[in-house]
Structure 1
């Protein structure tokens, strides 16, 4: 096996990636399948994880990160809906760092692009537009949320509030 690994290192093949690890005496043939599977997945998904500062970067940086990773594996990968929502709400309300309503809206719009059938996504985008004072856009978003979930009490309430302000 060691000779085979050396040959692969000396004569690499384009598009073929491999890695090898020598384990200690605490492992045996019974534990190797589990460890190999785990290590293989870690290697395959290298680059998937975003760092803790992603929420402070523009939404387009998040989009680019997942687009590059998707291209690497040949399959579409997206950040989870609740993660993007967290980033957006953090920008919308977190006064510890700095409120940035436009960045929040960009994250919410990205979430609506990724998850257009989620009533929560449209409800959240509507909230950001309300905070920004753009009641017409907020109304449109809340109406989309209601179209996807007619029992969304928050959206129904917000629609009433907005209509009273616009009249």
Structure 2
């Protein structure tokens, strides 16, 4: 409680803090609860979008352009807060791309696959996903280019099979 009193009176630039008193808990139960609350405080802006559930990606009232602006703003804010670049997670962007591809929402699928390529240009997986997108929209020449780029980064049997099937048609 003395630390709380001191921090309340002190003004330290850039210090963000909070406190809680757990009156219903004791020395044995406080650490777990306090650690959870501390992590929630430290990473309070981590979730995207920071003020809404992830379902915003699936809500058709938001255009792809609105999602892009919201996502860019969110990760710019996280990067500024942390002092280093924070990017959308590659697996999440990939998963969302494939989800929209299955729904035949090609505009949203392309947005997530393209976002992944822009943020992770050295990952074979992002080009594989983008290649699958181009296959789905019947742009086979571009799909072949994407699969070839994926193979340059990592030679996998699955991608070689995709290219073989495309070249044998």
Query: Which TM bucket (shorter chain)?
Result: 0.7 to 0.9
Gap regions ≥5 residues in structure 1: none
2:116 is the counterpart of 1:111: yes
Who is 2:160 aligned against? 156
Query: What is the aligned partner in structure 1 of residue 23 from structure 2?
Result: 24
- 1: CA distance between counterparts of 2:157 and 2:126? 12
- Structure 2 counterpart of 1:63: 72
The offset of 1:7, in angstroms, is 6.3
Match for 1:73 among 65, 75, 82? Answer: 82
The equivalent residue for 2:102 is 93
Q: Does 1:134 align with 2:133?
A: no
Per-residue CA distance 1:43-100 (angstroms, 9 max, x = gap): 1111101222243353523333222212111122223222111111121112xxxx32
Residue 54 of structure 2 aligns to a residue whose secondary structure is: coil
Length-normalised TM-score, structure 2: 0.77
Q: Distance in 1 between matches of 2:166 and 2:30?
A: 61
Structure 2 unaligned residues grouped into runs of 5+: none
The question of whether the paired residues in 2 share the 8 Å contact of 1:54 and 1:62 is answered with: no
Instruction: Count residues in correspondence.
Output: 158
What is the deviation of 1:20? Answer: 1.0
Inter-partner Cα distance in structure 2 for 1:134 and 1:33: 56
1:147 corresponding residue in structure 2: 152
**Matches of 1:26 and 1:15, distance apart in 2:** 31
2-side partners of 1:150 and 1:135: how far apart? 20
